[in-house]
Amino acid sequence: MSSLVKEDLEKKLFKPLSQNLYEFIEIEFSVQDRYYLCVSVTKNEEVKIIMVKHYRIGLDEKYEVTKKWSLNDLQMIDGKEADTDNPFFDLHFKKVYSLEAYSCASKYAFARTVNKLNHVYLKKDLQIVNFDSTYINDDSIWSSNNKDCLVLMRICFYAFNLVCLSLCPLPL
């Protein structure tokens, strides 16, 4: 489903703006409407963070840009609490925007993408706080192109270690 939405977003909104869509997440912003937080790169290699409203008119899907920021203006991403599984985070521009992602995994996917694009295009000192850095940085042992498997891989690793430890004989 999300790949179809991404394809539709690219075709109807980002290609006409001459931008490449790198990541989008659904955010809880309004009860009756659906909103997405998107990260894109322009032809001039400027990274944009865009809030998009999604609505239907009959059978036709429509997208409307409601807010647009430059990554250069982003000062900090605050994940609120690194030790709990929550979807809340703040984007600090000149104003602070408090957002709720659809899931904690999507919040981390957004932060990873912003961090990666910052390193590729801007190389500025972007603060990403209250996130587990193991899941944010690409250089960690747990990084993966398939972000959905990240947590499962870690659980399997710990389970394997527990099985190995349980099979070891205890010294008398």
Over residues 90-109, the pLDDT tens digits come to: 999 999 999 999 999 999 99
State the chain's mean pLDDT as an integer: 87
Look at 2-11, 29-38, 161-170 and tell me which has the smallest mean pLDDT.
Answer: 161-170
- Report residue 50 CA to chain centroid gap: 13
Say what the pLDDT of residue 142 is: 47
Over residues 48-81, the pLDDT tens digits come to: 999 999 988 888 889 999 999 999 999 999 999 8
- Which has the closest alpha carbon to 49: 63, 64, 69, 31? 69
Say what the pLDDT of residue 33 is: 81
Q: What's the angle, vertex CA 108, arms to CA 106 and CA 114, rounded to 5?
A: 105
Q: Taking the CA atoms of 8, 9, 11 and 13 in sequence, report the sign of the dihedral they define.
A: positive
Q: Mark residue 3 as left, alpha or beta (left: phi above 0; alpha: psi -120 to 50; beta: remaining).
A: alpha
DSSP code of residue 1: -
The DSSP line for 4-50 is: HHHHHHIIIIITTTTEEEEEEEEE---SSSEEEEEEEEETT--EEEE
Task: For residues 144 and 152, give the distance between their C-alpha atoms in angstroms, rounded to a whole number.
Answer: 11
Over residues 106-131, the pLDDT tens digits come to: 999 999 999 999 999 999 999 999 99
Q: Taking the CA atoms of 105, 106, 112 and 116 in sequence, report the sign of the dihedral they define.
A: positive
- Domains, the chain, with CATH or none: 3-138 (2.30.29.90)
Parallel, antiparallel, or unpaired for β 76-78 and 88-92?
antiparallel
What's the pTM? Answer: 0.77
**Tokens matching residue 6:** 């991404």
